[in-house]
A and B are shown apart, each in its own frame.
Chain A
Amino acid sequence: MTHREREVAREIRRLAREDLGLEWDGADGEELAGRLDSLALLSLVVAVEDRYRVKIGEEEAATTRSLADLARLVARKAAAPAKEEAP
């Protein structure tokens, strides 16, 4: 993971704990679905979308297994918002 991706992962952990009240301090490689139920996971994805002003598609979400995957995806999308979100 790059420095930026590690920063995003740290912020996702903070969102989960402080904004959503989830009892979760996920390790980077940990399977998200194994630790968070589907509503909690969805809440986290929505919170991440709001925080970074990105949209995560269903297919992208399906291939995002770990916190590190999610952080990489968000870092990439947030770095190129105009290109990613253009119609």
Chain B
Amino acid sequence: MHLDAQLDAAPRVSAVGRALPKNYLDQESLIAALRGLWAKRHFNVERLEDLHRAVQVSGRHLALPLEGYAGLDTFARCNDAWIDAARELGEAALRDGLARAGLSPVDVDHLFFVTVTGIATPSIDARLANRLRMKPSLKRTPIFGLGCVAGAAGTARATDYLRAYPGEVAVVLSVELCSLTLQREDLSVPNIVASGLFGDGAAAVVLEGGARGAARAPRGPRVLATRSVFYPDTERVMGWDVVDSGFKVVLSARVPEIVREHVGGDVDGFLGEHGLARRDIRHWIAHTGGPKVLQAFEGALELPEDALARSWRSLRDVGNLSSASVLFVLGDLLDGADARAGDLGLMIAMGPGFCSEIVLLAW
């Protein structure tokens, strides 16, 4: 395998920090909270409740206590709440990631901040640079709009950077507070599905350049290669329509269809360029898009029954955390003892564009 020569020089994932808001509600409690809203507009509320149950999420962590959402009746109020909560949760994830990696905030050379659930200028990374007293030469790259793919895509862009600066440390911080984007007056089926599926959370991937040596983080995988795939003319598959009240979800049932149509070929082509095939991959780290998306991944990639067990578990426990989801699954894998030296893993996520990002990992 000609990847061996690349291995030592490749950037390494040193740790994945994670943080969830302390407010947790099980799915039935969330359904009860939304029932009154739905009943105003819909005749058959039971059908909408069934939609929330069908996403196979047992509960979600929320940025605010339930009563805190009542006053969020404008985009400005939602976004102000988002800035406060994103700063808190982002800090917790960032500190957790750095502590796991044995690094301090001043060790970070480049901070990538990804989100699609709120906006801020200065961006959250700047506010955290102040709060954590990060170095004045810190390079910051806030990325808005990649949606669910941004955890994988941010990791890929950070490794691109570390190939140019192999002695440096980069962190990809994802903060997604989906609950603060809820459009209470939008009682369309896509919005109701989204309100049943998406949760809040933050994750921080700490990456170190290849010149920093293997001894510092012996368990984290190297990022051997990455691949972006853009699907032309699919702009209405997923995204936001920005309206006066905030972000109104665009969600098409074509997402699982696109996975089924493209992912097998995309993965095979990417692996083939590196002399690999699907059978060489031991760990699959798939975005927890929803039950139909995970089933589509399993079918398209002809995966064994338990290959996506971590993704299914994450979906059930915390819901779809947008860009943070795939990083939670990666963090779960790093926490366990399953990955051994010589193993290969593939992280894959999809998002608005429509597009996918594939990241090849080697332990």
**Chain A residues packing against B (C-beta within 8 Å):** 37-40, 42-43, 45-46, 49-50, 53-56
- Among A39, A40, A42, A50, the residue within 8 A (CB) of B42 is A50
Closest residue on chain A to residue B46 by CB atoms? A55
A39-B189, A39-B190 known; A46-B252 Cβ under 8 A: no
**A42→B253 CA distance, assembly (Å):** 10
Within 8 A of A (CB), among B207-248: none
Q: How large is the interface on B (under 10, 10 to 19, 20 to 34, 35 or more residues)?
A: 10 to 19
Minimum distance in angstroms from B189 CB to a CB of chain A? 4
A43-B189, A46-B189 known; A53-B43 Cβ under 8 A: yes
A37 touches B253 (CB 8 A): yes
B30-68: CB near A (< 8 Å → 1, else 0) gives 000000000001111011100100000000000000000
A39-B190, A42-B189, A43-B188 known; A50-B41 Cβ under 8 A: yes
A/B pair count, beta carbons within 8 Å? 38
- Is B124 interfacial (CB 8 A cutoff)? no
**A43→B186 CA distance, assembly (Å):** 13
- Is B7 interfacial (CB 8 A cutoff)? no
Closest residue on chain B to residue A37 by CB atoms? B253
Minimum distance in angstroms from A59 CB to a CB of chain B? 14
Give every chain B residue within 8 A of A46 (Cβ-Cβ): 42, 44, 47-48, 189
Give every chain A residue within 8 A of B253 (Cβ-Cβ): 37-40
**A4→B43 CA distance, assembly (Å):** 22
**A49→B252 CA distance, assembly (Å):** 21
B44 touches A39 (CB 8 A): no
- Is B324 interfacial (CB 8 A cutoff)? no
Q: Most B CB atoms within 10 A — which of A38, A53, A55, A56?
A: A38
B74-92: CB near A (< 8 Å → 1, else 0) gives 0000000000000000000
- Among A39, A45, A55, the residue within 8 A (CB) of B252 is A39
Across chains A and B, which 7 residue pairs bring their CB atoms closest together, nearest first? Answer: A37-B253, A39-B253, A43-B189, A38-B253, A49-B44, A50-B43, A55-B44
A42-B189, A43-B188 known; A37-B254 Cβ under 8 A: yes
Give every chain A residue within 8 A of B48 (Cβ-Cβ): 46
Give every chain B residue within 8 A of A50 (Cβ-Cβ): 41-44
A55 touches B189 (CB 8 A): no
**A48→B167 CA distance, assembly (Å):** 61
B254 touches A49 (CB 8 A): no
- Is B348 interfacial (CB 8 A cutoff)? no
Give every chain A residue within 8 A of B20 (Cβ-Cβ): none
- Is B193 interfacial (CB 8 A cutoff)? yes
Give every chain B residue within 8 A of A42 (Cβ-Cβ): 51, 189
- Among B41, B43, B251, B257, the residue within 8 A (CB) of A55 is B43
Beyond contacts A49-B42, A49-B44: 18 other A-B pairs, Cβ-Cβ < 8 A, are: A37-B254, A37-B257, A42-B51, A42-B189, A43-B188, A43-B189, A43-B190, A45-B47, A46-B42, A46-B44, A46-B48, A46-B189, A49-B43, A49-B47, A50-B41, A50-B42, A50-B43, A55-B44
**A55→B48 CA distance, assembly (Å):** 12
Give every chain A residue within 8 A of B42 (Cβ-Cβ): 46, 49-50
Closest residue on chain B to residue A20 by CB atoms? B188
Closest residue on chain B to residue A44 by CB atoms? B189
Closest residue on chain B to residue A52 by CB atoms? B43
**A53→B43 CA distance, assembly (Å):** 6
**A49→B51 CA distance, assembly (Å):** 15
Give every chain A residue within 8 A of B254 (Cβ-Cβ): 37
A46-B47, A46-B189, A49-B47 known; A39-B251 Cβ under 8 A: yes
Q: Would you give 7 A-B contacts (Cβ < 8 Å), ordered by A? A: A37-B252, A38-B253, A39-B193, A46-B44, A49-B44, A55-B44, A55-B46
Give every chain B residue within 8 A of A38 (Cβ-Cβ): 253
**A55→B42 CA distance, assembly (Å):** 11
Closest residue on chain B to residue A19 by CB atoms? B188
**A54→B46 CA distance, assembly (Å):** 12
**A61→B44 CA distance, assembly (Å):** 14
Q: Most B CB atoms within 10 A — which of A42, A43, A46, A53?
A: A46
**A38→B193 CA distance, assembly (Å):** 12
Give every chain A residue within 8 A of B47 (Cβ-Cβ): 45-46, 49, 55
